[in-house]
Chain A
Amino acid sequence: GENVEQHPSTLSVQEGDSAVIKCTYSDSASNYFPWYKQELGKGPQLIIDIRSNVGEKKDQRIAVTLNKTAKHFSLHITETQPEDSAVYFCAASIEYSSASKIIFGSGTRLSIRP
Chain B
Amino acid sequence: ETGVTQSPTHLIKTRGQQVTLRCSSQSGHNTVSWYQQALGQGPQFIFQYYREEENGRGNFPPRFSGLQFPNYSSELNVNALELDDSALYLCASQNRDYYNEQFFGPGTRLTVL
- With CB as the reference atom, state the residue of chain A lying closest to B104: A43
- Count the A-B residue pairs with Cβ separation under 8 angstroms: how many? 70
Contact residues in A for B101 (Cβ distance below 8 Å)? 34, 46, 49
Given contacts A43-B90, A43-B106, contact A102 B2 (CB under 8 A): no
- With CB as the reference atom, state the residue of chain A lying closest to B91: A43
Contact of B33 among A46, A96, A98, A101 (CB under 8 A): A101
B100 touching A100, Cβ below 8 Å: yes
B55 touching A96, Cβ below 8 Å: no
Given contacts A34-B101, A93-B100, A96-B100, contact A102 B45 (CB under 8 A): yes
Count A interface residues, CB 8 Å.
27
- With CB as the reference atom, state the residue of chain A lying closest to B6: A43
Contact of A104 among B43, B103, B105 (CB under 8 A): B43
A105 touching B106, Cβ below 8 Å: no
Q: Is B42 an interface residue (CB 8 A)?
A: yes
* Bound form: Cα–Cα A93–B33 in Å: 13
Q: Is B74 an interface residue (CB 8 A)?
A: no
Contact residues in A for B104 (Cβ distance below 8 Å)? 36, 43-46
B90 touching A98, Cβ below 8 Å: no
- With CB as the reference atom, state the residue of chain B lying closest to A107: B42
- With CB as the reference atom, state the residue of chain A lying closest to B54: A99
B100 touching A101, Cβ below 8 Å: no
Closest 5 CB pairs of A and B: A99-B56, A104-B42, A43-B104, A101-B45, A95-B100
Binding site for A on B (CB under 8 A): 2, 4, 31, 33, 35, 40-45, 48, 50, 55-58, 90, 92, 94, 96, 100-107
13 contacts between A and B (CB under 8 A): A32-B100, A34-B102, A42-B107, A45-B104, A46-B102, A89-B43, A91-B42, A95-B100, A101-B33, A101-B48, A101-B58, A102-B102, A106-B42
Apart from A44-B43, A98-B55, A104-B42: 16 A-B pairs, beta carbons within 8 A: A4-B42, A36-B104, A42-B107, A43-B2, A43-B4, A43-B92, A44-B90, A45-B2, A49-B101, A99-B50, A100-B56, A101-B58, A102-B35, A102-B43, A103-B45, A107-B41
